[in-house]
Amino acid sequence: MLSAEFEPAIWSDEIICEIQDGVIKRKTKNETLVERAQFEICNHKFSTIINDGYAFTLVNDSKYGLRAKDGKLSLNLLRSPTFPDESADKCEHEFIYSILPHRDNELINSVRSAHNLNRLPLVYRADYAMERLVKLSNSSLVCDCIKVSEDKKEGIVVRIYEPCGNSVTTSLAVYFSYKRVFECILIEGNRKDVDLNKLSFSPCEIKTLYFEI
């Protein structure tokens, strides 16, 4: 196993790790059977240690296994096993990881940094102006997707999620024309009316909004 290992100046009894559209917390101690079984934990775009107003966040673009024990963070980069394929992982690898130390305990800052690393900026010609499509009043939420609807009809889908494990409320301002808006499930069915002035999210909830245009 090839790993990149870090020994931050701050430490905590637990680490917060991103999973798909949310976070989980895992113990960094090694005392119980459960804690010893957590020798490797899920780590999507980031993991962070928070203690006394300081945070150490490890952000990456494609490595999803992490060890957080004995005051060290070890990001698993590749395994290179010899069975069943002797040539597994024997090639050129390219990936990005970065360290984000910061003086606050706001988890949403780690979420934003992880998104910025994983989403390359879009480049446009100088004579083409891209207007804002939507805006959330609550900055602790993530607008994860704006796309054409799967039914190929005149619909725009906006997907929003709560990333930090909190219950929050927001309003959504929309800067394109539409006839009606519905809340629906992920596959865009079971549509029901929704009030964009008061969208309530439970911890790590995903909302899918269908705009009929």
Beta-ladder partners of 76 = 3
Beta-ladder partners of 155 = 212
How many other CB atoms sit within 10 Å of the CB of residue 120?
A: 7
Q: What is the domain partition of the chain in residue ranges?
A: 2-118, 134-212
If 0-12 CB within 10 Å is exposed, 13-18 middle and 19+ buried, where does residue 38 land?
middle
In whole angstroms, give the CA distance from residue 17 to residue 8: 16
CB 105 within 8 A of CB 120: no
CATH class of 2-118: mainly beta
Tokens of 123: 């480049």
Reply yes or no on whether the pLDDT at 205 is more than 90.
yes
Tokens of 1: 């196993």
If 0-12 CB within 10 Å is exposed, 13-18 middle and 19+ buried, where does residue 201 land?
buried
Read off the pLDDT of residues 20-50 as tens digits, 9 standing for 90 and up.
999 999 999 999 999 999 999 999 999 999 9
Q: How confident is the model at residue 2 (pLDDT cuts 50, 70, 90)?
A: very high
pTM (predicted TM-score)? 0.87
**DSSP label at 187?**
T
Dihedral of the alpha carbons of 29, 13, 140, 121, in degrees to the nearest 10: -60
124-150 average pLDDT score: 88
Reply yes or no on whether the pLDDT at 152 is more than 80.
no
CATH of domain 134-212: 2.60.40.2220
Give, rounded to a whole angstrom, the gap between the first and last alpha carbons of the chain. 51
75-86 average pLDDT score: 90
